[in-house]
Chains A and B, each alone.
Chain A
Amino acid sequence: MGGRGEPPPVSQLYTGRDRIVILSAEEKKEEKEIIEKSREIMAGYGTGRSSLIPALQKIQGALGYVPAGAMEEAARHFGVPPVDVYGIVTFYNQFRLTPPGRHRVKVCMGTACHIKGGNIIMESWERVLNIRSGETTQDREFSLERVACVGCCAMAPVALVGEAVHGGMTPTKVDGLFFSHRLTSQQMKEGAAR
């Protein structure tokens, strides 16, 4: 979350059941929504521990990540210590602790992409977005992540922006994609203003 080197915002700090956090009115609203949504999702599952991972997957599907509040709710629902839920969330690569950007950039780091310069593509994204792999830009517009093979090795190196797969990536193409996305969002903003 945030640009490089910035501390996470207070709402992300996890301090156990009695969280001592100061939330703004907006953050309070978000937190409330998170808890309500998590409760609603978990109501569809039994309390057996084998449902814990599927429930967390569903929460992430709905919210885009697994916030601290949702983890606490899950712990309560399944009757396990919150640290166990945190353990699950951090053990498996699929779960995110921070909200994703509106455009999720995923760079394939499979073997085929690696030998065709996947790391160069990753560096290019890091450069244009000014964030590192695993982070989200401050305006939550873009997030960057590395993914294991997406299965189109014939088109390596590959990057995904949202759901769109872009094959044969080059640093110039990264610049182009970034600028075209920025242009579109700018036009949309202008359109909305009008």
Chain B
Amino acid sequence: MNDGYSNALAVLEKMKPKALEGWKALRQKTLIMVGTATCGRAAGALEVLESFRREIERLRIDAAVIEAGCMGHCYAEPMAFIFRPGFPGICYGYLDGGVTARLARDFLVDGDPCVEFALAAGEVNDFIPTFQDFPRGAVERKIVMEHCGLIDPENIEHYLAVGGYGGMAAALAMGPAAVIGQIKASGLRGRGGAGFPTGGKWELCGGAREKTRYVICNADEGDPGAFMDRTILESNPHLAVEGLAIAAHAVGARKGYFYIRAEYPLALERVKKALDQAYKCGILGESVLGTEFSLEVEVFQGSGAFVCGEETALIASMEGKPGLPRHRPPFPAESGLYGKPTVINNVKTLSYVPLIIKKGPQWFRDTGTGHSPGTAIFALAGKLVNTGLTEVPMGTSLREIIFDVGSGVAGGGKFKAVQIGGPSGGCLPGEVLDIPVDFDSLARAGAMMGSGGIVVLDDSDCMVEMARFFLDFTQKESCGKCTFCRLGTKHMLTILERITRGEGRPEDMDLLLELAEDIQAGSLCNLGKTAPNPVLSTIKYFGSEYQAHIREKRCPALVCKDLIAFYILPHKCERSCDACVGSCPVEAIYSNEDRIKVIDQEKCVKCDSCLAACPPQYGAIVKVSPPDIPAGNEKENKRKDEPKSQNNH
């Protein structure tokens, strides 16, 4: 189109052969990719990496060991993908030093792929199933996460080899207006939670009178239980860099920022490396890809304030002030950082952008629902078998996500509720699991998409305590600007705390609902507006649990400390066993004259240790609620009638 830009594609094409060559050379000999994102590191991936390197050195194997990101199968960490010529790529999970040494010896030297340790294969073959053969394979559709865990995030050539920066070259060639047109046509909505149309935001900013503009990638992912942004930045940072660069080109910005949360040191490091490499390759800086476009990108490290995920608060914190949100309008797209038009997009949103430009808006619209096209990325946590990350088309039901992708509830518990959307979302019961997951349906059910954390709760989780936990979080994170948010959440928390202590009053539930309404109406930003959601949804779906706490002073899930007691069933206690005595951190368990173990209720701190220590064949320790210990039965040892409410673990 315009001459200063049309050569971008040609410049990129020139870079590609070297990257592809390196990529091919890597596959010609044995290649081991160890997943070293934060989830893997926590499980011991660095030791596995070290162990592979040591074994290869020792056995003199001609192989390369590189670090990759996370494929989303966090439950099986530490993981490694081994590509050996003549074999399909095989992914191994649950690794440790011993298994690593065996793989090196048996597979890499002797050619036995050790199928017993294999998790899945990378491509279809005759003896190991692929990830697509898993139940989740039918549900998942990886667009953004396609290359996560399969390339080296610290090597730009890997990204180039899989077609990286192609979207950016195409965007430079087609010009800003056309890029905004494409994004608008794709119907992409912001993945940070609110679902605002991205194209609209860009158009507003691009049309502003002020010519100095900024783009910011929001990676201040503060929701407890959400880690999608972190995983993308750790596994494929160049995708977000490319998205940010396209956004900058589309709105006419010459300066971009990554706002990354302080708690994500690895993401910070990998993004910084990615930016350095992009500068060196001429993809950032003066004359991007040989065009007239220039772009500087910097990393700004957040300082640990949940509210800074809100865009106006984020801007305030970048300006060196406390992160207080302000009234909108004017939207940041009109007046943002230093009063200049600013586009702020979530990591996930920006990660879709290069793919939409490359493959076209219709390709994007082919996935998902009419109003929420594309995919959704969720972090699965809680009492699930397969915790980790997943990417599914919008409109997939919660049931499919929890039971097909997550493989249901772990540890033999019974599904009770799913908490979706973090502190702004809500707890949904089993009855509504068939609603499709998209921006609008979730809001109707009383939860919200939020940034995409899904926490599964089973029958040993107390919903009142859950509501208290989230209120405690929002109350602490409230910036204090709006009275209703600052004092209202505090007041709600006080009420919830007294309910969990068994001091609830009959009028408390109505009072909570009333306060919730006021906080929603009287708060400026979404932190306050959505803070009551966890309480509202638990009252709506699990009101009977509140009633049990308030009226019967009883916690049905046996969680709330003041409403439970630990008790040793005399007739089940094996007298010669001392397991519980040794496990107690406060020495509250003693033997009575019959050598039956008894808990001193005054000393007991209700820490669950004895329950875990008691051998399952005895199962003598139970929790009871309300905490009334049957009087005088410490001396009985043939008692048949057990306390009414109990939970035999």
Contact = CB atoms under 8 A, between A and B. Distances in A.
A94 interface: yes
B605 interface: yes
B387 A153 contact: yes
A115 B457 contact: yes
Interface string B284-308: 0000000000000000111111100
Given A111-B422, A115-B461, A149-B263, 5 more contacts: A93-B304, A111-B224, A112-B224, A112-B225, A153-B382
B230 A151 contact: yes
7 contacts: A50-B318, A92-B303, A92-B304, A112-B381, A114-B469, A152-B38, A167-B43
Interface in A101-160: 109-112, 114-115, 117, 120, 123-124, 127-128, 147-156, 158
B319 A50 contact: yes
Contacts of A53: 303, 317, 320
Interface residues of A, number: 47
Closest 9 pairs (CB-CB, A-B): A152-B42, A92-B303, A93-B304, A94-B304, A111-B225, A153-B381, A49-B320, A52-B320, A91-B322
A57 interface: yes
Contacts of A153: 74, 225, 227, 379, 381-382, 387
A33 B135 CA distance: 61
Interface string A46-61: 0011111110110000
A115 B383 contact: yes
A95 B303 contact: yes
Query: Which range holds the interface residue count of chain B?
Result: 35 or more
B320 A111 contact: no
B583 interface: yes
Interface in B386-424: 387-388, 419, 422
Contacts of B383: 115
Interface stretch (B538-546, B606-614, B620-628): B606-614
B205 interface: no
A111 B419 contact: yes
Given A52-B320, A94-B304, A151-B39, A120 B607 contact: yes
A170 interface: yes
A137 B301 CA distance: 29
A149 B42 contact: no
A110 B303 contact: no
Contacts of B263: 147-150
A83 to B, nearest CB: 12
A88 B1 CA distance: 48
A182 to B, nearest CB: 16
Interface string B65-102: 00000000011010000000000000000000000000
Contact of B77 (A91, A128, A149, A154): A154
A171 interface: yes
A165 B42 contact: yes
A154 B222 contact: no
Given A91-B322, A115-B382, A149 B301 contact: no
A114 B75 CA distance: 18
Nearest to B609: A171
B586 interface: yes
A84 B262 CA distance: 21
Contact of B43 (A51, A115, A127, A154): A154
Contacts of B430: none
B17 interface: no
Interface in B216-241: 222, 224-227, 230
Given A87-B322, A111-B381, A127 B224 contact: no
Contacts of B225: 110-112, 149, 153
B304 A127 contact: no
A53 B300 CA distance: 10
A158 B42 CA distance: 9
Max count, chain B CB within 10 A of own CB: residue among A57, A78, A87, A114? A114
B455 A112 contact: yes
B599 to A, nearest CB: 15
B585 interface: yes
Contact of A111 (B262, B382, B583, B612): B382
B323 interface: yes
A127 B586 CA distance: 9
Contacts of B461: 115
Max count, chain A CB within 10 A of own CB: residue among B41, B42, B77, B457? B42
B453 interface: yes
Contacts of B422: 111
B227 A149 contact: yes
Given A111-B381, A127-B586, A158-B42, A92 B227 contact: no
Contact of A167 (B38, B42, B318, B381): B42
